[in-house]
């Protein structure tokens, strides 16, 4: 069989096996010209340019025989404004870039002509925009401007940016009296959300302004996936207000909570209810009043949104907690503080949703680390089994001629961190006996495709 006859799937499999070893990778490239070409396409599909390699990248890309412009589909620019200006002529041929990620760049210090030239290069090919860690923006309106520069945009990620309106050069210090923007100007609220965006990843510090902007729309955008990172209790209040509206087309919600503030979380049950769930007798939990009492602090939604019949989250099929248990959180783990309240909230919404899957992610190094987290497993078990029982009644599912119980496999644990996969699965089954008896638990490796950055 000739190398030219190899299917693309086989190329992908071989490349994925050897790319982690530089020696094997170099030998793989030297098999023949076809493999050299294919490995180049694969190796440069995601390209990161920082100040250290910018000069080398420019030298390669301006070579007339270079095929680099055909290889790069995901471009990460981690350069300052000086190097960005120098790289612009070299980026002109890169018309196949579908994902652009901006990092560690002071956007206010970039001259307007440079901004326009950069966005014009990828205007018609870009499908995914990532405003990543260390990117300085003067206001939320600048983030909106970037969204509107790419009419074909389908995915948007804003996480880890810095509000820095006074920056004139990279590394400049903020004035002592600087206050990060919290609200939205009239101009910001009046701008419509990009119609084509179907997937959104939002993190700090834009969670509140972003959802305030969404709620100011006359018609909510048809976003199918919301991924929220580092959400605090106050952020969840905004999310509750948003997801309680009608016209929500969301199918998937993924949330990762900010562990450093999780001590502010809320228990959704009274002491009597905890006792009835066979929690430790007489144990009292130090929770604050329900966050739902703070809803009056949220910006009111557009009146047009309130005219629709209230069927919030009608299309919701998957709900995911990215950091359900994480070894570095210990006493502040999401499973102890945030998860009970969120699962209780989800149970209230589940009667009007098409919820099929709840994904709980576990990041541990050893099985014994589970006991370092003071998790009320009986409470979690009760909440999860209630969600299973209220899942959409597809009457009976048939698989291979057998009847499959309703809610089977609905609770999925994704595990990572080097922990013994099977041993942890058995331990979780013993901690969640009701879910285990119902056949609702499944275990799999952590799906890294959720990590947008």
Render pLDDT for 187-229 as a digit per residue (tens, 0 to 9).
555 688 988 999 999 998 888 889 888 888 888 888 999 999 9
Tell me what pLDDT residue 436 has: 93
Phi and psi torsions of 399, nearest 5°: -145, 115
Residues 151 and 62 in one domain: yes
Element (H, E) at 100: strand 99-102
Residues 63 and 157 in one domain: yes
Tell me what pLDDT residue 184 has: 44
Alpha helix (H) residue ranges in 324-376? 338-350
Give the closest residue to 242 by CA, choosing from 301, 195, 183, 292.
Answer: 301
Query: Where does a domain end: 167, 200, 229?
Result: 167
Residues 8 and 120 in one domain: no
Interstrand relation of 402-404 and 397-399 (parallel, antiparallel or unpaired): antiparallel
Q: What share of the chain is helix, strand, coil (3-state, %, to 5)?
A: 40, 15, 45
pLDDT above 90 as % of the chain = 30
Tell me what pLDDT residue 392 has: 67
Query: Where does a domain end: 121, 152, 167?
Result: 167
Query: Where does a domain end: 167, 182, 213?
Result: 167
> In this structure, is residue 111 part of a structural domain?
yes
Residues 112 and 2 in one domain: no
- Residue 392: how many other CB atoms lie within 10 Å: 13
Residues 35 and 12 in one domain: yes
Tell me what pLDDT residue 395 has: 46
Quote the Cα angle for 364-366-370, to 5°. 65
Mean predicted confidence (pLDDT) in 158-184: 54
Residues 35 and 51 in one domain: no
Residues 49 and 145 in one domain: yes
> In this structure, is residue 85 part of a structural domain?
yes
Tell me what pLDDT residue 32 has: 66
Q: Which domain holds residue 146?
A: 45-167
The SS3 assignment for 383 reads: helix
Cβ-count burial of 98 within 10 angstroms (0-12 exposed, 13-18 middle, 19+ buried)?
Answer: middle
> In this structure, is residue 297 part of a structural domain?
no
pLDDT at 163 over 90: no
Residues 1 and 89 in one domain: no
Tell me what pLDDT residue 222 has: 87
Query: 258-272: per-residue pLDDT in tens?
Result: 765 444 444 444 545
- Residue 279: how many other CB atoms lie within 10 Å: 18
> Which residue has better confidence, 440 or 29?
440
Residues 13 and 81 in one domain: no
> In this structure, is residue 405 part of a structural domain?
no
Residues 61 and 38 in one domain: no
- Residue 211: how many other CB atoms lie within 10 Å: 21
Crossing angle (nearest 10°) for helices 338-350 and 377-389? 20
> In this structure, is residue 145 part of a structural domain?
yes
pLDDT at 171 over 50: no
Domain count, the chain: 2
How far CA 96 is from CA of 92, 145, 311, in Å, comes to 11, 22, 41
């Amino acid at each position: 069989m000739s190398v030219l006859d190899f299917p693309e799937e086989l190329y992908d499999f071989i490349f994925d096996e050897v790319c982690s070893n530089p020696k094997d990778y170099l030998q793989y490239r030297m098999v023949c010209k076809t493999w050299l070409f294919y490995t180049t396409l694969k190796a440069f599909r995601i390209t990161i340019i920082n100040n250290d390699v910018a000069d080398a990248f420019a030298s390669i890309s301006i070579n007339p025989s270079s095929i680099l412009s055909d290889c790069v589909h995901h471009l990460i620019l981690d350069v300052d404004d000086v190097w960005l200006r120098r790289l612009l002529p070299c980026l002109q041929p890169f018309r196949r870039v579908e994902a652009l990620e901006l990092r560690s760049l002071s956007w206010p210090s970039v001259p307007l002509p440079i901004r326009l030239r950069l966005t014009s290069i990828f205007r018609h090919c870009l499908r995914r925009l990532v405003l990543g860690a260390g990117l300085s923006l003067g206001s939320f309106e600048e983030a909106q401007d970037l969204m509107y520069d790419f009419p074909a945009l389908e995915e948007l990620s804003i996480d880890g940016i810095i509000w820095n309106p006074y920056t004139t050069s990279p590394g400049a210090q903020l004035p002592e009296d600087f206050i990060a923007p919290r609200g939205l100007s009239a101009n910001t609220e009046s701008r419509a959300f990009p119609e084509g965006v179907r997937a959104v990843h939002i993190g700090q510090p834009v969670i509140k302004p972003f959802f305030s902007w969404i709620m100011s729309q006359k018609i909510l955008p048809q976003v199918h996936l919301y991924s929220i990172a580092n959400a605090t209790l106050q952020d969840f209040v905004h999310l509750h207000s948003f997801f309680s509206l009608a016209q929500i087309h969301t199918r998937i919600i993924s949330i990762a909570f900010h562990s450093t503030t999780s001590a502010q979380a809320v228990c959704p049950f009274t002491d009597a209810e905890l006792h009835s769930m066979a929690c430790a007798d007489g144990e009292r939990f130090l929770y604050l009043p329900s966050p739902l009492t703070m809803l009056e602090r949220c910006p009111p939604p557009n009146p047009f949104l309130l005219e629709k019949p209230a069927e919030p989250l009608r299309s919701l099929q998957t709900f995911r907690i990215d950091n359900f248990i994480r070894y570095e959180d210990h006493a502040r783990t999401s499973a102890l503080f945030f998860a009970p309240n969120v699962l209780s909230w989800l149970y209230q919404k589940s009667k009007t949703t098409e919820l099929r899957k709840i994904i709980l992610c576990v990041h541990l190094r050893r099985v014994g680390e589970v006991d370092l987290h003071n998790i009320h497993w009986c409470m979690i078990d009760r909440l999860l089994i209630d969600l299973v029982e209220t899942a959409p009644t597809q009457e009976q599912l048939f698989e291979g001629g057998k009847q499959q119980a309703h809610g089977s496999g609905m609770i999925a644990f994704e595990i990572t961190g080097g922990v013994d996969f099977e041993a942890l699965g058995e331990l979780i089954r013993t901690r969640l006996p009701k879910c285990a008896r119902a056949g609702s638990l499944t275990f799999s490796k952590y799906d890294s495709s959720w990590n947008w950055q």
